[in-house]
Structure 1
Amino acid sequence: MPKLKDVKKVVLAYSGGLDTSVILKWLQVEYGCEVVTFTADLGQGEELEPARRKAERAGVKEIYIEDLREEFVRDFVFPMFRANAQYEGLYLLGTSIARPLIAKRLVEIARETGADAVAHGATGKGNDQVRFELNAYALDPDIRVIAPWREWDLNSRAKLIAFAEAHQIEIPRDKRGEAPFSVDANLLHTSSEGKVLEDPAEPAPDYVYQRTLDPEAAPDKPEIIEIGFERGDPVSVNGEKLSPASLLARLNDYGRRHGVGRVDLVENRFVGMKSRGVYETPGGTILLAARRGIESITLDRGAAHLKDELMPRYAELVYNGFWFAPEREMLQALVDKSQEYVTGAVTVKLYKGSAQTIARTSPYSLYSMAHVTFEEDAVYDQKDAEGFIKLNALRLRLLARRRGA
């Protein structure tokens, strides 16, 4: 890939870790450009001020460190959950849904600072490079993207450390050894991949799990919580109104201590290969169960079934990096229309790794006890079922006669 020699300023998605610290210096050396750093707090649970200090020591003059937790949950996580999105039936898309927000701010900061390009630390084998870049191009068709992992020859940890030492980049002692696996985290989930997890025939070691208690060690007594919904989004826990980020954090706390939300998955990456990931999504798993509960009484059968048919397509679009694509926005409009009456409260029981809906209520419930009762009623004439069955059986009977049955 030819280098963009005319780049004068680039905005780097910067964590302050070894990889992005090396990338920062590499951009300064190879491109001779000014680097603006952008570090997002998406609820990963790490102190971000060290990233500021490292950027300052590297000579960075424009440093962006932003708390995006509320925007992340309100404008990205909650809209995705309205679709009940799960990639390949299991993955709640915790990493995937963070990338469009990061890409959005990279593009916005590039405009604010007059930068010529943006840069990220995603490797050439993974999905994140695709997500960052597709979302960036959707927001600015002329943006230039620098992906060092696709350009440089620093293709091993030893080479990264050697480069860091040659350029006086501080390397914490615990980062000098080979990490047993890589981690991506935000308020929605923790994702662990690589190294000790690469062989799908081997169970994940216990130490991989960081956000949830082992279900076997979880409390022996169930815990009951109530989640309130308005138009498809959760707004309260046990009657207490909470902001989007605070609510998800509260559900994470409940899920953590009851071992809820562990998934060990071999998935199909967009770039073509299969990969094994261990995900922990405690609050999201509780939320999905509760959303299914409230929708079960507020959505019409046709709407509910259509949503379920479209969900895999929606999830695939998010996974592949098409958050800002028109087809995702079209599906979102359909999903949001379905949520007009998804209001009420759901009671969930948490117990040793499970989150089970045990009660649900809504002022807009379509559930009619008068129609479903096994006792005598005056609203349903059971004789009507005979004609209904005969009409639906007509084509089946014609097919059977043709077969000579």
Structure 2
Amino acid sequence: MELTLLGTGAPAGLPRPGCPCAACATAARARARAATALLVDGVLLLDLTPGPALAAARAGSSLHGVRQVLLSHSPEGPREGPAPEVPAGLPAPVRVPDGRRLTLISGHRVRAVALDAPGTGYEIGGPDGERLLYLPPGAGPSDLPSDGSRTPYALVLMDVLGRPDALARLRAAGAVGPTTDVLAVHIDHDVPPGAELHRRLAAAGARTEPDGATVVVGDYRAVPDLPRRTLVLGGARSGKSAEAERRLAAFPDVLYVATGGGRDGDREWAARVAAHRERRPPSWRTAETCDLVPLLTAENAPPVLVDCLALWLTDAMDRAGAWDDDRWRSGEAPRALAGRTGALVAAFRAASRTVVAVSNEVGSGVVPATAAGRRFRDELGRLNAAVAAECEHVLLVTAGTAQPLRG
């Protein structure tokens, strides 16, 4: 099957008309995107957007051979403004009831997929046997198994940035496999275009193409290479934890390791923990522990997110007695602490599962007033450097903006 992307943007397009935001301001020329519409082998049009004939002409295609127009939503939504007119010569657009199957004279097979949000998804099978899945904005399938029993699609087109949890469920069901080409469509102004857009998609194992591009379903394409080990650094309230969580939001069965534990009677700490829990996908599991070595080195295990190494170091210094000046000067505490940090760094080196770790970047501001505070600052700097040396990808998050330092 040959798929022409007549548009890849959100229902209102990108830039949104009259929107003054920074993402819309920079979404000009090649970065502009019309509302998503797809032309399959020149005979099947998925979603009708304003100016489809002109969009097809810009892509070097024509709508003259279209025999079926399928809508993933009612004609009046979800896009803003009046419904687009149907160009002369096109068949009347229809929205297929959930579960209904169609066979086109061209040999294409269509199945309407029930969703967990308003709209209808479509599974398209081509005459050559390849299959693709198209999902409307903000939606994921509602009837997926969770045992990995589905046969992977060759291509999935969906709202990757808006519904990473739906992509995670597709992976858990086996509908998205290692060779599935995941193409992001319905791209809105929530993420700046350009490098940041491609970086976030690559972290989800997805990519995007500009309007007018043509994709051959089933052609080999290098799936974005996901780093096995990632270290996310940042200061207080920099957005480092949110960045780390975003990197694994499109994957199932993630183990979230909280190294801070609980603090009895500390309401402010409890509120922080609750806020972290609420923004994590419900399918993630949580472990509160500082015993990271067996978790990092577990074989054939799903991804793990460690938040954070600064709290792990606090616990390690507690156990080593490193806060005590006399024990530190005697050399006993430094040796004990070095043993713990060395074991952790070795576990990062040996990790076979996907690991995303968060740590604080300190030492760029006020010098701690106490010897113990300066000791912690120095040891955390050394730990961050040692762990970073074992990671394929290192990010520094400043003011909510992630800057790749490696990878």
Indicate the structure whose relative CO is greater, using CA pairs within 8 Å and at least 6 residues apart. Answer: 1
TM over 0.5: no
Name the TM tier (shorter chain): under 0.3
TM-score between both structures, scaled by the size of structure 1: 0.27
**Which structure has more helix as a fraction of its residues?**
1
